[in-house]
């Protein structure tokens, strides 16, 4: 692969990782009520597996894990906290 192709592949993967980190928390927040069978003490984790694309020397995570507590989602749904506050309570791990 040429240097230009490698840089383009790295940018595409980087942009997709950002999209996952923005869209999964929004998905959890928007659909919190569908998780009504969970107790407030339960935690929810979404694991996103990223297939490795050889993009040169830059190392991207193989997984992104977004975790939150059901009680935090309930507070957001009940308008007790803002979306920004909910994001602050979520854990995002790159593995």
Taking 80 as the threshold, does the pLDDT of residue 39 lie above it?
yes
Taking 90 as the threshold, does the pLDDT of residue 56 lie above it?
no
3-class SS at 62? coil
The pLDDT value recorded for residue 93 is 97
Task: Please tell me the distance from the alpha carbon of residue 74 to that of residue 49, in angstroms, as a whole number.
Answer: 27
Q: Which long-range contacts (CB under 8 A, 24 or more apart) does 89-92 make?
A: 90/25, 90/28, 90/66, 91/65, 91/66, 91/67, 92/21, 92/25, 92/64, 92/65, 92/66, 92/67
For β-strands 43-49 and 91-94, DSSP reports them as unpaired
- Arithmetic mean of pLDDT over the chain: 91
Task: Please report, for the chain, the start and end positions of each structural domain, with discontinuous segments joined by +.
Answer: 3-94
User: Which DSSP string corresponds to 23-36?
Assistant: HHHHHHHHTGGGGT
Residue 54's pLDDT band (boundaries 50, 70, 90)? low
pTM here is 0.84
pLDDT in tens, 70-91: 999 999 999 999 999 999 999 9
Find the mean pLDDT for residues 15-34. 94
Find the mean pLDDT for residues 62-69. 96
């Amino acid at each position: 692969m040429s240097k230009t192709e490698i840089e383009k592949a790295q940018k595409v993967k980087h942009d997709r990782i950002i999209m996952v980190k923005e869209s999964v928390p929004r998905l959890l927040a928007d659909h919190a009520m569908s998780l009504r069978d969970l107790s407030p003490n339960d935690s929810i984790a979404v694991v996103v597996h990223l297939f490795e694309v050889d993009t040169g020397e830059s190392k991207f995570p193989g997984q992104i894990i977004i975790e939150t507590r059901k009680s935090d989602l309930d507070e957001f749904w009940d308008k007790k906290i803002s979306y920004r506050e909910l994001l602050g309570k979520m854990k995002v791990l790159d593995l």
